[in-house]
Each structure stands twice: as structure tokens, then as C-alpha cells.
Amino acid sequence: MMQTTIQYNSKTYQIDLSDPLDISIPLKADKSNLTAWYVDAPTFEPVKGDGFIGDVNQGGSVNFRNIFFNPHGHGTHTECVGHISKENYTINQCLKEFFFLAEVVSIIPTKQAADLVITLDQIKSVWNNNNAKAIVIRTLPNGSDKLSMQYSSTNPPFIAFEAVQFLIDSGIEHLLIDTPSVDKENDNGVLKSHHTFWEYPHNTQLNRTITELIFVPETIDDGTYFINIQIASFENDASPSKPILYKILT
């Protein structure tokens, strides 16, 4: 046990830091890595040159690999408004706090013609007004195929912009979801849910983040948690990320 006490909004919570619940998807150099947005699999390749090879198993002294991947297309990533803005806002500038009260919810997206949509009514029905700053949306069904899905051209589930509006009106600043996007895969570049969330360009919200392509295992129940959103310090609209949930003990 490594218990800590958190005082937040005049309430006291206890969590156990030695019991992290990782909801990120590993990123690997393999065809079984998930892909979205028409990218190929990631590659990890040893650096070669001047008699050097960055691979211990091929005679090198160290493993020293170049990695080629796409933050949006290859796994769990956290993005800021820089994803849709002309201005070069970066996730490293925008995400300045890393612990938040979070609500985990599960939703079976609603079939609407060819789409599967998380609707305003569905979000309202699972919403528990408890000062959470983050919401973690698990879509059902929740098979382990989410770890290796080849999403391109599959029109994955997304969230209606009215539901996004409700969440920001309710105080949500960090939206996490297990689909490749909060918007429809092919919406001719409108990205209404992204624009609604960041209020871009009229009232741009730099501190808000969207995390996509998480995986929330069945062993994690719906309910209230603390979340630690970890990124790499990329000066880019998005970074691979590692969101970690902590159960509330009291």
C-alpha cells in the first residue's frame, strides 16, 4: 500500500498509488498494433552507420532505435486545441496539471443510420454531478479487439456535439474516449465535436484536452476515480499518453 490523501473541493479522498489502473494501449512495431486514419503500422528500426548498429542482438553495444509512428493513428494519445487550430498550440504548453477527479462511464452507442453515436440523452443518463474535471467514456461492446483494430474506413462510434456541449457546461475539461475520434471518421473536415469542446476559434480553451484510443478493461467498474494523465513533452498538437486511474478508497 502507498496511500495518499487528497483534499479537493472541500472533500477528502484516499487513493492507493501502488494500485494504478492503466487505461493506455501499448504501442509496438507490429502489424497487430492498432491503426486509424490510413497510417501503416509503426516501425522501430536500429540506427545503422559507420560500423555501428543500434541492436545488441546484431553485435551492437546498445539498443538504439529510430521510431516512426503517428500519435493520432497508432494508440492512446492526448491532444489540445492545436489539433484543429491555425495557431501552433502544443500539448506540452496546454496540459499543465496532471491529476483530476474523473468519472468512468460505459455507453452502448446509438445506431443512427450508418453511424454509432453517443448521444446527449445517453451522456445525461450516466452523468453524476460530482465536480469531476475528467470523463472516461468506455463504449460497449468492449472487446480486446480494440487493442489491435484496423479502424480506417470502419466509421467508428463518435460523440454528438450536443453531448460534448453538455459535458463542458458541466465542468469537464478532459475528455477521454476509446474510439479514434470524438467526431465521425469522415465528416468532410467539419469536426464539430472537437470545435465544440475547445470553443475554437471564438472562445478558445487552451487547458482542455481530448484523449482518444484508450482501453478501459472490464475489471474497471464505472464510477468515480482520480486520473493521472501523463504525456511525453512533445511540442506538437498531440502526444502519446498514459492515463492512469486510481480507485477512491474512502
Enumerate binding residues for Zn ion (CB under 5 A): 72, 79, 212
247/125 Cα distance (integer angstroms) = 22
Tell me which residue has its CB nearest to Zn ion: 72
Residue pair 163/122 in contact by the 8 Å Cβ criterion: yes
C-beta of 219: minimal distance to Zn ion in Å?
A: 26
C-beta of 47: minimal distance to Zn ion in Å?
A: 29
Q: Classify residue 114 as exposed, middle or buried by CB count within 10 Å of its CB (0-12, 13-18, 19+).
A: exposed
**Looking at beta carbons only, is 211 or 246 nearer to Zn ion?**
211
Task: For 164, list phi and psi in degrees, rounded to 5.
Answer: -65, -40
**Looking at beta carbons only, is 79 or 103 nearer to Zn ion?**
79
- Local structure of 111: helix, strand or coil: strand
* Residues 6 or more apart whose Cβ sits within 8 Å of residue 57: none
**Looking at beta carbons only, is 197 or 225 nearer to Zn ion?**
197
C-beta of 238: minimal distance to Zn ion in Å?
A: 6
**Looking at beta carbons only, is 103 or 237 nearer to Zn ion?**
237
C-beta of 193: minimal distance to Zn ion in Å?
A: 11
C-beta of 198: minimal distance to Zn ion in Å?
A: 12
What are 232-237's contacts with CB under 8 Å, separation 24+?
233/92, 234/71, 234/90, 234/91, 234/92, 235/90, 235/92, 235/93, 236/71, 236/82, 236/90, 236/91, 236/92, 237/79, 237/80, 237/82, 237/83, 237/89, 237/90, 237/91
CB burial of 61-75 (b: ≥16 within 10 Å; e: otherwise) equals eeeeeeeebbbbbbb
**Looking at beta carbons only, is 109 or 240 nearer to Zn ion?**
240
Three cell numbers, residue 3: 496511500
21/223 Cα distance (integer angstroms) = 13
- Local structure of 62: helix, strand or coil: coil
C-beta of 105: minimal distance to Zn ion in Å?
A: 20
**Looking at beta carbons only, is 72 or 174 nearer to Zn ion?**
72
C-beta of 72: minimal distance to Zn ion in Å?
A: 4
**Looking at beta carbons only, is 72 or 146 nearer to Zn ion?**
72
